[in-house]
Structure 1
């Protein structure tokens, strides 16, 4: 008997649904006390696709809910071995329901999404032990900060008005808070990796993630380590240099998120500055002995107080940049960059990029403003090392910071 064209077109969907079930069932087969395995999950995936076909063909909207109810009742009342008291088989039941739903999803024209969700679900099932280990590394304060970030990103942001207010129309609540979400999210991911992976994994990790979370906090902490533990001075100098080089990467990420069209002008400058510093960072890393980096203490960057403080500072910088640009032109923006760079590079970079996006400043001026803010901030970090660790350590750091400065100037000269 030959298959019709319609039947042939339906066959790939059933194969995908079967594959989804077999993938999830294969993971469940690893558990001896699992209530469903390879065959059950495979059949459940097929049942999902079949229910989608029958619902579409018959127009009976009740068919899929009825099959879901039947699946739940089967799992509840089916005889099974008593497993681990701490794992009451709810995970397998939910996984079966998800498998059924993914089969339905594949039938209704979303096979790629169904496969992607199946891979994500299987990963969650497989890495149960590792995920528990991650949770155990996080403190209650960390978990609270993650919830706060979720509020910041998914509850507060959508309800803010996307309109310009205030003098010069410089204050847009939605865009200001969007930048808070961007900066907090970038720092939160780095902070979480630092907490989960552990600082014992390597000195470069401290420098890279410390720079993404807070280069100022990293510089301050390791300047104190240099003063209290002279044996750690080479490690501390390397971490401080790397953290401040990562700020250049951070600025590039911010530019991509805000206005990617600035990248052709900005990347050569940031790239040459980073390349010059990385040469000396590599030499410092090669000269280090055993990895003995001290603990780096820093606050979670997504806490609500931190987010609100950045929002207020960013709004103030936006107003200052708009005002100075109005009364003094680009020279006024340079003044704002010099003043803001003493404490923070993100705010002035974001505000200048925002001004560029609205046509208020040229690309070349934006690049010079960001470079100036970074250089002023680098000088401030150098003064921190000098005042805390002493003149001798600052002198050792000077060639590396100087190389970054030379790279930035060269990049500006070539653009």
Structure 2
């Protein structure tokens, strides 16, 4: 390692240690603070640097030394127990010290981005003690069950599925199909838990954002139903529905970036323009709505196994139908498939189209148009749901907002070069 790089590594080590030490000192954590943590992190870096010359036992010995120091500190603190100073029983400080020692060592081994991410994550976990503990107190039995159902489908079912193609047109891969189920349920469960973290105090824009990530269709139906019993909420309900519908395009982009990174940058301009157009419409709707927050409707558990299995079946069906339509009926039939499949679910048509484009089975020009048609079809479905379930004020607003949105989508379809 050259001298300039060495000083850079030592500087980063010092900054990361200071960051964690600052948090510990500010939170009045007894023992290690703003001076100790930088020294621990630097010790890890220096030990790793010296271990390259004198052997790995030096690095291991430093780790043992830090662990012994933290144990000794804890014992001494517990020996001085008074009414003003209760027992110090938590392992967080010691674990943070050991982890920051290893973060320092990672810097010496040129794992700089990973070390920075871990060091920053440690600081955030320490700082977010109260919000995280409050979150755990707020979650109930259904929330825990949602997490472990995700564990079931991701860590128990997925690994045993065969990773090879079967069936007509050689497009059905059980492992890949269930991987898409895990992916979609993972996004929904993550957003669901975030909504639980924010609780009932989430504002209008956050409600729309989380609603779009969990399910824009479910969010639309929920707010439409609420508008009948609370007509005055119609302006804000329209904003939440509009924001959730715009966020769908961010979710689509994220899904494509994960399952088909090579396709992402080719669809980003078209779907980005559509997302920006709908966000602009939502912004104007928000500007003319009442300036008060609205609680997020109680989100339903998105990890239920039956919907997950149904999504997997729909995804597989779309793969086969798209492959058959391409072989026998041409591009026009593909657009009809996108129109129908996008009515109630955007994820299936998005993921299946992205995988087919990535594998060379579909041209990119057809692929992004199918995704956009599916999204517009889903907007039409949500508009119909609002008209059926919502009051007249909300229906008029949504028909206007969705009509302008679809006009922009049609313009993109027709005139995109």
Q: 1:44 aligns with which of 34, 40, 45?
A: 40
What is the count of residue pairs matched by the alignment?
Answer: 410
Q: Give 1:373-388 correspondences, 5 Å limit.
A: 373-388=374-389
Q: Partners of 1:397 and 1:62 in 2: how far apart?
A: 67
Distance 2:9 2:272 in 1: 47
Q: Which residue of the partner structure matches residue 363 of structure 1?
A: 364
2:215 paired residue number: 214
**How much does 1:111 deviate?**
4.3
Deviation, 1:158, is 5.3
Q: Return the offset for 1:211.
A: 1.8
Contact 1:51 1:64 in 2 (8 A): yes
Deviation track 1:346-388 (CA, whole Å, cap 9, x = no partner) reads: 1122212222222222223223322332233222222212222
Give 1:89 deviation, angstroms. 4.1
Deviations 1:127-166 (A, max 9, x none): 3223223333333422342344355446654554432222
- Tell me which residue corresponds to 2:70: 75
* 8 Å contact kept, 1:270–1:411: no
Deviation at residue 410 of structure 1 after TM alignment? 0.7
Identify the residue that residue 65 of structure 1 maps to in structure 2. Answer: 60
> What root-mean-square deviation, in Å, do the aligned CA atoms of Structure 1 and Structure 2 show?
3.2
Give me the whole-angstrom Cα distance separating, in 1, the residues matched to 2:27 and 2:272: 50
SS at match of 1:198: helix
Q: Which residue is 2:320 aligned to?
A: 319
Q: Is the CA contact (8 Å cut-off) linking 1:212 and 1:250 kept in structure 2? A: yes
What SS does the corresponding residue of 1:29 show, helix, strand or coil?
helix
Q: After the TM superposition, which of the residue ranges 174-183 and 142-151 deviates more from structure 2?
A: 142-151
Q: Which moved more, 1:226-235 or 1:34-43?
A: 34-43
State the partner residue of 2:123. 122
Kept in 1: contact 2:203–2:296 (CA 8 A):
no
In 2, distance between residues paired with 1:112 and 1:274?
A: 31
> Are the equivalent residues in 2 in contact too, given 1:273–1:403 (CA < 8 A)?
no
Of 18, 21, 27, the match for 2:23? 27
Q: Name the structure 2 match of 1:167.
A: 168
More divergent stretch after superposition (33-42 vs 396-405): 33-42
TM-score, length basis structure 2: 0.84
Q: Is the 8 A contact 1:25 1:41 kept in 2?
A: yes
Conserved? CA contact 2:231–2:393, under 8 Å: no
SS of equivalent to 2:249: helix
| 1:71-110 matches, cutoff 5 A | 71-78=66-73, 79-80=76-77, 81-82=80-81, 87-110=88-111
Counterpart Cα distance in 1 of 2:353 and 2:2:
57
Corresponding residue of 2:402? 401
Q: How does 1:144-159 map to 2 (within 5 A)?
A: 144-150=145-151, 152-153=153-154, 156-157=157-158
**In the alignment, is residue 288 of structure 1 matched against residue 289 of structure 2?**
yes
Q: How does 1:297-308 map to 2 (within 5 A)?
A: 297-308=298-309
In structure 2, relative to structure 1, the CA distance for the partners of 1:104 and 1:232 (3 Å cut) is: closer
Q: For the residues of structure 2 that align with 1:8 and 1:376, how far apart are their CA atoms?
A: 57
The verdict on how the C-alpha distance between 1:208 and 1:29 changes in structure 2, with shifts beyond 3 A counting, is closer
Gap change, CA 1:66 and 1:302, over 3 Å in 2: same
Go from structure 1 to structure 2 and tell me whether the alpha carbon gap of 1:71 and 1:375 turns closer, same or farther (over 3 Å shift). Answer: closer
Q: In structure 2, what is the equivalent of residue 341 of structure 1?
A: 342
Q: Distance in 1 between matches of 2:356 and 2:29?
A: 61
- Residues in 2 aligned to 1:8 and 1:247: alpha-carbon distance in whole angstroms: 46
Q: Which has the larger radius of gyration?
A: 1
Instruction: Give unpaired runs (5+ residues) of structure 1.
Output: none
* 1:382–1:26 Cα change, 3 Å: closer
- Partner of 2:299: helix, strand, or coil? coil
1:16-47 C-alpha deviation (Å, 9 max, x unpaired): 54554444333333355613334443443343
Counterpart secondary structure, 1:212 = helix
Give ranges in structure 2 of 5+ residues lacking alignment: none
Normalised to the residue count of structure 1, the TM-score between the two structures is 0.85
